[in-house]
Structures are given as C-alpha cells and as structure tokens.
Amino acid sequence: MNLKYIISTLLVIFLLQTGYTQVLNTDKTSGMDSTKKIQSQISLAIATDQQKKSLVDLYYSGDFTFIGKNNATTLYTKIDRVSNGGQSIQDIGTFQLKNNRHIGKKLYWESFLQYQWDGGLGLQSRSLAGMNLVHYFKNTQTEDLFFGAGVFLEKENWNWTAVNDELLIHNTPILVTHPKLNFTAKYSIVNPTNNFEVIVRAFNQSGWYEKQFSNRTSVFTTLQFPISKRLTTSFNIDFLYDTAPIVPIDHFHYNYAQSLSFSF
C-alpha cells in the first residue's frame, strides 16, 4: 500500500462519508456575519486513486450572499461526483436561489428557487419554487431561533436505478408535479470565545400523490470549528424520513460529511 493510496483514501473519508440523502434543504446552514454586504464561502476537494481501478472524487460547494437594505439574496451550489473504474458511485447536484425580504424585525418573506439531482437514489431531477413566511423568536449575534411555513410547487423525475428489485430497474421513469406544504425551523448558537457553532435545521414537507398522503421530514445538523480567521472545519449529520417515496426505495436515509471551508 503506497503513500499516494493512503493520502487519497484519507482525503475521501475526511471530506465525504457514506451515502447522501434526498436534498430537501431550502436554505444554507452556515452562520455568516450579517454586517458584511457581500459574503461567500467555498469548499473544494479532488481525490484520485490508481489501483486495479481508478477512483475519482470531485466535490464543490459554495454560497454567495448579497445583503441589501431590506433583503438578502443567496445563491447556493453543490456538486459531488464519485466514480470508480468509470462507473458512477455518487452523482449529486444542487442549485438554489433564495431571497429574504424583511417585513419587520421578527417577520419576513422567504422566496426560493431550486434545482437538483441525486443519481444514487434515482432522482434524475427536482425543480421547485415557493415561498415561506418566517418568524424570528430570537435573532442575536450568538443565537438564532426561527420558524416558518409556506407552500411550493415541485416537479420530480424519478428512475428505478436505486430500487432493489432488478426486474424494475428498466421501468419507465416517473414524472410527478404537485404542490406541497412546507414547515421549517432553525436553531443555532455560537460560542463568542472560540466561535464554535452548532446549527440544527429541520424541514417538514407534505402533499398528496396518487391519493396517498406523503410526508418528508429532514434534519440537518452542523458543528463548525474555526481553524483560523478564514478557514473552518465542519461536521455534518443529516437525516431524512420519507413516508411515501415516489419509487420503492428505503424510507430512511442519512449522510455524514466532514469538510474544510474557506471564507472571504
């Protein structure tokens, strides 16, 4: 086992571990200094390994926020592609545009557009547009707590590649378009001494598909440790439970990831 193999393997394990969930997030979960008018954060990783087969891992995520007098606009992007011997192991992408328009100090409108895919689960594409009314219960430099509710229109295209039954793999993809209710909540707290931050974000989305009630609940948990003024390491644990998947895949999914982020 050579040094190149050890380094590349550790990098893959450190940056992205286990499978990814269906991404239901309509907000980035990162604490940023609201006194800055333009903010950004980027994470990037490339890992390769040459043994009997070639392992290639390309990972990118970034968010860019522009803060105006009464609103803030954020563009969030994420792409993660992993292949081994030319065979795709993981293929995830998310593009999200969100705008927060403040009504007052504690109440504001949140509108969002999102497009994504997850090849590992058979989600060929998912596009949505919606709006939430958000109420802040606490909004200080060290602590955030809010709750929001709203609606969005969703269009999903699912194939059968992630279904365990091989007889169903070549079935015709399913295209679903329907409105959903959306409930969201977030709590975050920062230690002002060392800037260690804990973020917990929960989503609950519900609707009807083929006369069946469906409910997706997801929880995103992030622990952020500053290494320097611009460099931060984070530990992310995400959970998702879907009562009625569009195709017969597992109801429960989870994701654990570690990353390094550079802010400027």
Q: Encode pLDDT of 174-223 as tens digits.
A: 999 989 999 999 999 998 888 889 999 999 999 988 788 899 999 989 89
This prediction's pTM:
0.76
Return d(Cα 104, Cα 36) in angstroms, integer: 20
Residue 34: which of 97, 102, 124, 103 has the closest Cα?
102
Give the per-residue pLDDT at 9: 42
pLDDT at 126 over 50: yes
Instruction: Band the pLDDT of 111: cuts 50, 70, 90.
Output: very high
For all residues of the chain together, what is the average pLDDT? 81
Q: Identify the bridge partners of residue 236 per DSSP, sorted by sequence position.
A: 222, 257
Lowest mean pLDDT among 5-9, 36-40, 89-93, 117-121: 5-9
Cβ atoms 63, 29 nearer than 8 A: no
Give the per-residue pLDDT at 50: 59
Residue 10: count other Cβ atoms within 10 Å of its Cβ: 11
Which structural domain, as residue segments, surrounds residue 243?
3-263
Q: Domain tally for the chain?
A: 1
Cβ atoms 241, 217 nearer than 8 A: yes
Three-class SS state of 227: coil
pLDDT tens digits for 152-184? 999 999 999 889 888 888 899 999 998 999 999
- In the chain, % of residues over pLDDT 90: 38
pLDDT at 7 over 80: no
Kindly state the tokens that stand for 224.
């952020």
48 vs 143, residue with greater confidence: 143
pLDDT at 48 over 70: yes
- The CATH number linked to 134 is 2.40.160.40
Give the per-residue pLDDT at 264: 62
Burial class (CB in 10 A: 0-12, 13-18, 19+), 76: buried
